[in-house]
Amino acid sequence: MSKLRQSLPGIAIIILLLAAWWVIVIATRSVIFPTPWQVVTGTTELIRDGTLWMHIGASLGRVASGFLLAVVVAVPLGLWMGWTRGAYDTLNPLFQILRPISPIAWIPIAILWFGVGNASPIYLIFISSVFPMIVQTVAGVHTIEKRYLRAAENFGVSRYTLFTQVVIPAVLPQIIVGMRIGLGVAWLVVVAAEMIALRSGLGYLIIDSRNAGNRYDLVIAGMIIIGLIGLLLDGLMRLLEGLKIVRWRYAH
């Protein structure tokens, strides 16, 4: 019941926005912009013909491929940069130059290198999510209190044991934060990439609905579905905070 009470203000805001949306469309007599009910019927149409699940599956598959590749690269690289001063001094300037570049700016390069298939959005997802995870992992290593490291060294702990049993467990909460940020950016990028060159995915659904007869009910439906899936993905990432190995960081 307490959780229900906490969610009531958010539910009320959503209901008010839907009501305002409906009233404005009716009052302006718009023949293009849909009402909420038209969006619902459009979504039902996509569900019945099976195209909605096809587009969702395509987008999720691309995000999973690019994001997991970014995790495999970013976490070891971030640990190495945070642990080794020479690696940090060498690579950090390069990453700080590349990191502010919008992932959308990489679209022409991705098409040039990988063509218009699945490889292009996977590359864009990788390039957009790898940098937040690297930065967050490096920051996690650098924020470990030095007294803990010195205490371990005073007890004769080897450098390998210190790294695997002290540094990595201490950095894991920061890695999870970086993964949440990276996944959120990845979900944004795949939609933009699918609008450019592909013929499947939620991004393609939106742009195709716009071009094929001004189906703005499907455009809005695609936008809402993207938001709901993004919320679900973030919730799934937050479940990692309950893992025993990182629970110390999130304990109240």
Query: What's the pLDDT tens digit per position in 31-77?
Result: 788 888 989 998 998 899 888 999 999 999 999 999 999 999 999 99
Token output for 220 = 């809005």
Q: What is the pLDDT of residues 162-180, one digit of tens each?
A: 777 878 888 888 888 899 9
Residue pLDDT tens, the chain, 252 long: 666 677 778 788 888 998 998 898 888 887 788 888 989 998 998 899 888 999 999 999 999 999 999 999 999 999 999 888 899 999 999 999 998 888 888 888 888 888 878 888 899 999 999 999 999 999 888 888 777 777 777 777 777 777 778 788 888 888 888 999 999 999 988 878 887 667 888 888 888 888 876 788 889 999 999 999 999 998 888 888 777 777 666 555
pLDDT computed for residue 4 by the predictor: 65
- Does the CA dihedral 46-234-66-94 come out positive or negative? positive
Measured distance CA(82)–CA(136) in Å, rounded = 10
Nearest alpha-carbon partner for 95 in 82, 108, 104:
82
Cβ burial of 59 (10 Å; 0-12, 13-18, 19+) is buried
Measured distance CA(56)–CA(35) in Å, rounded = 23
In contact, 222 and 209? CB cutoff 8 Å? yes
Long-range (24+ apart) CB contacts under 8 A made by 42-45 are 42/215, 42/217, 42/218, 42/220, 42/221, 43/221, 43/225, 45/218
Place of tokens 């945070």: 82
Backbone angles phi, psi at 30, to 5 degrees: -65, 135
In contact, 9 and 191? CB cutoff 8 Å? no
pLDDT computed for residue 78 by the predictor: 93
Q: What percent of the chain has pLDDT over 70?
A: 95
| Model pTM above 0.75 | yes
In contact, 132 and 77? CB cutoff 8 Å? no
Measured distance CA(175)–CA(229) in Å, rounded = 22
Measured distance CA(66)–CA(61) in Å, rounded = 9
Return the amino acid letter for 47. I
Nearest alpha-carbon partner for 25 in 46, 39, 15, 10:
39
